[in-house]
Amino acid sequence: MVECKTIFYSARKTSLCERALKKSFSELDLDMSEISFAADRGSLCDALTEAFAECNIVFVIGGLGFGDERDVKKIVSRLIKSSCVDDCKKLKNHTGDDGYIIRADSQLLVLLPDEPEQIEAIMQGAITGYIKIRGNARA
C-alpha cells in the first residue's frame, strides 16, 4: 500500500468524507496514514509542509467553493508559484466543485470538495488511473 496523508481544510461532514475516502483508498491501494485539520491559510500551509515531509501523496478536503482569500486553489497557487509543477489536472465533477491534482516530481497534491458523494464521483473517475500509475511507480 502507498501511504498518503489527508488534511481537512474548513471542511464539513468530515466523518462522512473520511468514510468516502477510505472506500476509495482501499480500491486504489492507498493507506490513509494520518488525518489533520486546518482552519485557515497559515494552518493549511503548515499542515501541507508537514505532510509532504513524511509522504508523497496528500489529499486536501474542502475549501474549493469559498471564492475569496480562503479558497484552497488560491492558497495552493501561491505556495507552488515558485515550484516546478510537472502536471496539473482538473478533475471534472458534474455535481459540484471540480477537484484538482497537482504533481511536482514524485509528489501528488489532490484537492477535493467536502461532499462525500462528490468525493466518490471524482475518486471513481479519471483520478483512479492517474494515482494507480503514479502510485505504483513509487511503491
Torsion from C-alpha of 93, 83, 42, 96, nearest 10 degrees: -10
CA distances from 6 to 2, 9, 52, 68 (A): 13, 10, 11, 23
What is the bridge-based pairing of β-strands 99-104 and 107-112? antiparallel
pLDDT value of residue 138: 40
- Cβ within 8 Å of residue 114, ≥6 positions away: 8, 10, 11, 12, 13, 14, 17, 61, 62, 63, 64
pLDDT tens figures, 78-103: 777 667 778 888 898 888 888 999 88
**DSSP label at residue 124:** T
pLDDT, tens digit, for every residue of 16-59?
Answer: 999 999 988 888 888 888 899 999 989 999 999 999 999 999 99
d(CA 27, CA 53): 25
pLDDT of 129 higher than 80: no
Lowest mean pLDDT among 11-15, 72-76, 111-115: 72-76
Query: Greater confidence, 14 or 1?
Result: 14
Distances (CA, A) of 107 to 111, 112, 116, 131: 13, 16, 24, 11
DSSP 63: -
Q: What is the domain partition of the chain in residue ranges?
A: 2-138
* pLDDT above 90: percentage of residues in the chain: 38
- The grid coordinates of residue 50 equal 508537514
User: Looking at domain 2-138, what is its CATH homologous superfamily?
Assistant: MoaB/Mog-like domain (3.40.980.10)
